[in-house]
């Protein structure tokens, strides 16, 4: 059955077993596309990285095959175009330019949209004409001219000579050194991967767009590695049901404790009471261990929450002609999936605000004595009781004067009231509060920080805001680890 004749999905299984297969496919496919989106942003900065290209190719190839089984024709056709483009990159017959990465990202977004439509049984938002236009652009991108590169030994010789020149230059001449650094990086970007060993130190120059820096394990999970343990998918609902049953076991344990106390109070029941006490102690330990194990099942790496940040910043950087780097820290930390789901949108709003409002354009940053590239740090840490999520930038900082005037106009503070960091945090999170002069595609309606405030209110968390004019701003979300489950 072709999806062109249906109003939402190609294939709606009625059999319970098929439904389970479909749910598993949708979960894996969405995770795969999220991973592909993150890796494509990294590939834009390392266009010759074959490990990255192969890590992107695998989930796309997998989705193409599985969509054939489920008869999701639209996704299969688009995945085929994606796969064809990626195959050209693998064979080094196409370069991962910004234009190629952009069309790949748009195709990934379209696949994600169609996966959501299948899950929710919504009518297609991407009609046949729009889908054909997207696939035509993908095919056009695959026809970009192939650049024949010189022999790898020539590249090695050129890089070695440039390296020697660089280290002989006087270190005081920063303008000349910066120029050489840019040439160095441009040559390395063009050179075949075998000509540029990772061990060689290289000056860093980030092109327009969003560069992403993260710990090595972020990519290791996507590369060709041997997995030493097996995993299985368990629905959140199933885990929650069992957690509820464990909670009932703990209530039974409390009943046993009261019964134990009654036995101890009676004469001639001492031996039985001691035996009962031992059994009840073991029961309590097993119940607590089971509860702890089930809570671990609910946990996901915080990368699940952070991985969208580079893409969000990249899109704004390209649209606003900015240079933005994104650094992720703490990706291996594990959090409850409900917390990750709850703070997905709030974290996205904070990253967009930092990229749109916080980071200045390159010329303005240079005029202030800053580097052309701004940086957004997205980090996750844990204390004994809280998960701390931070979005920090080295941009212009919050405009306290504009915030004060707007807050006074809205009656949120008294005229002339001192605007401390804590008061400012409360004010800017009010619904509809914005100092933007006009609307943009991503901001200006006073919605973003209200979303952050509501998520914190619902989880018992708190917000800390620190801003230094001309130096940047940091939003720290303190979220309790315990969210009341089990």
Q: Is residue 486 part of a domain?
A: no
Q: Is residue 113 part of a domain?
A: yes
Tokens of 354: 């930092």
Residue after which a domain boundary falls, among 141, 173, 197: 141
- The pLDDT tens digits of the residues spanning 186-237 come to 555 555 444 444 433 333 333 345 555 543 333 333 333 333 444 555 556 6
**Alpha carbons 68 and 416: distance in angstroms, whole number:** 66
pLDDT band at 284 (very low <50, low <70, confident <90, very high): confident
Question: Can you give the pLDDT at residue 352?
Answer: 92
Residue after which a domain boundary falls, among 187, 205, 223: 205
**Alpha carbons 150 and 148: distance in angstroms, whole number:** 7
Co-location of 100 and 185 in the same domain: no
Q: What is the CATH number of the domain that holds 398?
A: 3.30.565.10
Co-location of 20 and 164 in the same domain: no
Question: Can you give the pLDDT at residue 406?
Answer: 87
Percent of the chain with pLDDT over 90: 24
Co-location of 265 and 345 in the same domain: no
- Dihedral class, residue 227 (left if φ above 0, else alpha if ψ from -120 to 50, else beta): beta
Rounded average pLDDT over 404-433: 86
Question: Can you give the pLDDT at residue 277?
Answer: 72
Cβ 81 vs Cβ 139: under 8 Å: yes
More confident residue, 37 or 229: 37
Cβ 406 vs Cβ 433: under 8 Å: yes
Co-location of 11 and 134 in the same domain: yes
SS3 203: coil
**Alpha carbons 373 and 389: distance in angstroms, whole number:** 23
DSSP tally for the chain: helices H, then strands E: 18, 8
Co-location of 293 and 328 in the same domain: no
More confident residue, 230 or 432: 432
Q: Is residue 60 part of a domain?
A: yes
Give the containing element (helix H, strand E) for 357: none
**Alpha carbons 144 and 127: distance in angstroms, whole number:** 27
- In this structure, the number of other CB atoms found within 10 A of the CB of residue 385 comes to 10
More confident residue, 427 or 251: 427
Q: What are phi and psi of 106, to 5 degrees?
A: -65, -35
pLDDT band at 365 (very low <50, low <70, confident <90, very high): very high
Co-location of 252 and 335 in the same domain: no
**Alpha carbons 198 and 206: distance in angstroms, whole number:** 17
Question: Can you give the pLDDT at residue 449?
Answer: 83
Q: Is residue 271 part of a domain?
A: yes
More confident residue, 437 or 272: 272
pLDDT band at 175 (very low <50, low <70, confident <90, very high): low
Q: What is the DSSP string of 372-416?
A: SSEEEEEEEEE-SSEEEEEEEE-SS---HHHHHHHHHHTTSS-TT
Q: Model pTM?
A: 0.65
Q: Is residue 423 part of a domain?
A: yes
Co-location of 158 and 174 in the same domain: yes
Co-location of 343 and 383 in the same domain: yes
Across the chain, mean pLDDT equals: 76
Rounded average pLDDT over 13-41: 80
SS3 201: coil
Co-location of 269 and 417 in the same domain: no
Question: Can you give the pLDDT at residue 208?
Answer: 42
Does pLDDT of 60 surpass 60?
yes
Question: Can you give the pLDDT at residue 177?
Answer: 60
Q: Is residue 416 part of a domain?
A: yes
- β-strands 209-213, 462-468 pairing: unpaired
Q: Is residue 429 part of a domain?
A: yes
pLDDT band at 129 (very low <50, low <70, confident <90, very high): confident
- The pLDDT tens digits of the residues spanning 11-26 come to 454 444 477 788 888 8
Co-location of 11 and 79 in the same domain: yes
* Paired residues of 375 in beta bridges: 325
- The pLDDT tens digits of the residues spanning 157-174 come to 556 666 666 566 555 556
Tokens of 72: 């999701």
Give Cβ neighbours of residue 409 (< 8 Å, ≥ 6 apart). Answer: none
Residue after which a domain boundary falls, among 265, 298, 331: 298
What is the extent of the structural domain holding 181? 152-205
Q: What is the CATH number of the domain that holds 115?
A: 1.20.120.160
- The pLDDT tens digits of the residues spanning 75-106 come to 999 999 999 999 988 888 888 888 888 889 99
Question: Can you give the pLDDT at residue 444?
Answer: 44
Domains identified in the chain, total number: 4
Question: Can you give the pLDDT at residue 326?
Answer: 93
Q: What is the DSSP string of 26-89?
A: HHHHHHHHHHHHHHHHHHHH-TT-HHHHHHHHHHHHHHHHHHHHHT-HHHHHHHHHHHHHHHHH
Cβ 350 vs Cβ 452: under 8 Å: yes
Q: Is residue 433 part of a domain?
A: yes
Does pLDDT of 347 surpass 60?
yes
User: Please, what is the Cα angle at 190 between 187 and 194, to 5 degrees?
Assistant: 100
Cβ 483 vs Cβ 459: under 8 Å: yes
Question: Can you give the pLDDT at residue 160?
Answer: 62
Co-location of 121 and 176 in the same domain: no
CA distances from 429 to 312, 327, 407, 442 (A): 21, 25, 11, 17
Question: Can you give the pLDDT at residue 228?
Answer: 40
Co-location of 168 and 275 in the same domain: no
Tokens of 408: 């006074």
């Amino acid at each position: 059955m072709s999806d062109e004749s249906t109003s939402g999905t190609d294939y709606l299984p009625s059999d319970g077993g098929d439904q389970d297969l479909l749910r598993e496919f949708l979960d894996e496919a969405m995770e795969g596309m999220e991973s592909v989106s993150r890796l494509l942003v990294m590939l834009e900065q390392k266009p010759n990285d074959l490990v990255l290209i192969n890590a992107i190719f695998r989930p796309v190839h997998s989705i193409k095959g599985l969509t054939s089984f489920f008869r999701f024709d639209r996704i299969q056709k688009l995945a085929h175009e994606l796969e064809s483009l990626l195959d050209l990159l693998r064979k080094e017959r196409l370069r991962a330019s910004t234009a190629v990465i952009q069309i790949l990202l748009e195709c990934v977004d379209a696949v994600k949209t169609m996966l959501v439509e299948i899950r929710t049984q919504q009518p297609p938002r991407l009609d046949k004409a729009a889908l054909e236009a997207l696939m035509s652009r993908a095919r056009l991108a695959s026809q970009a001219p192939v650049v024949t590169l010189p022999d790898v030994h020539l590249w090695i010789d050129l890089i070695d000579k440039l390296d020697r020149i660089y280290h002989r230059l006087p270190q005081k001449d920063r303008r000349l050194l910066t120029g050489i650094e840019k040439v160095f990086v441009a040559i390395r970007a063009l050179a075949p991967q075998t000509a540029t060993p990772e061990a060689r130190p290289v000056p860093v120059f980030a092109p327009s767009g969003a560069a992403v820096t993260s710990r090595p394990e972020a990519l290791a999970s996507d590369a060709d590695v041997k997995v030493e343990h097996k995993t299985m998918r368990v629905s959140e609902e199933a885990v929650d049901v069992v957690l509820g049953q464990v909670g009932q076991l703990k209530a039974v344990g409390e009943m046993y404790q009261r019964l134990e106390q009654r036995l101890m109070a009676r004469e001639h029941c001492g031996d039985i009471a001691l035996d009962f006490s031992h059994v009840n102690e073991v029961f309590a330990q097993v119940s607590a261990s089971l509860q702890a194990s089930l809570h671990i099942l609910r946990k996901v790496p915080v990368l699940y929450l952070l991985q969208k940040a580079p893409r969000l910043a990249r899109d704004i950087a390209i649209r606003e002609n900015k240079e933005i780097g994104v650094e992720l820290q703490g990706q291996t930390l594990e959090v409850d999936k409900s917390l990750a789901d709850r703070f997905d949108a709030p974290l996205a709003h904070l990253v967009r605000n930092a990229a749109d409002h916080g980071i200045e354009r390159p010329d303005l940053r240079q005029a202030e004595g800053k580097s052309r590239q701004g940086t957004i740090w997205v980090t996750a840490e844990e204390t004994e009781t809280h998960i701390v999520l931070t979005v920090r930038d080295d941009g212009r900082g919050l405009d306290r004067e504009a915030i004060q005037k707007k807050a006074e106009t809205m009656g949120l503070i008294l005229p002339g009231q001192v605007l401390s960091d804590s008061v400012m945090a409360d004010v800017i999170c009010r619904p509809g509060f914005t100092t933007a002069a006009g609307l943009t595609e991503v901001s200006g309606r006073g919605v973003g920080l209200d979303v952050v405030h509501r998520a914190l209110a619902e989880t018992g968390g708190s917000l800390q805001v620190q801003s230094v004019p001309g130096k940047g701003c940091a939003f720290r979300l303190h979220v309790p680890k315990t969210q009341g489950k089990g």
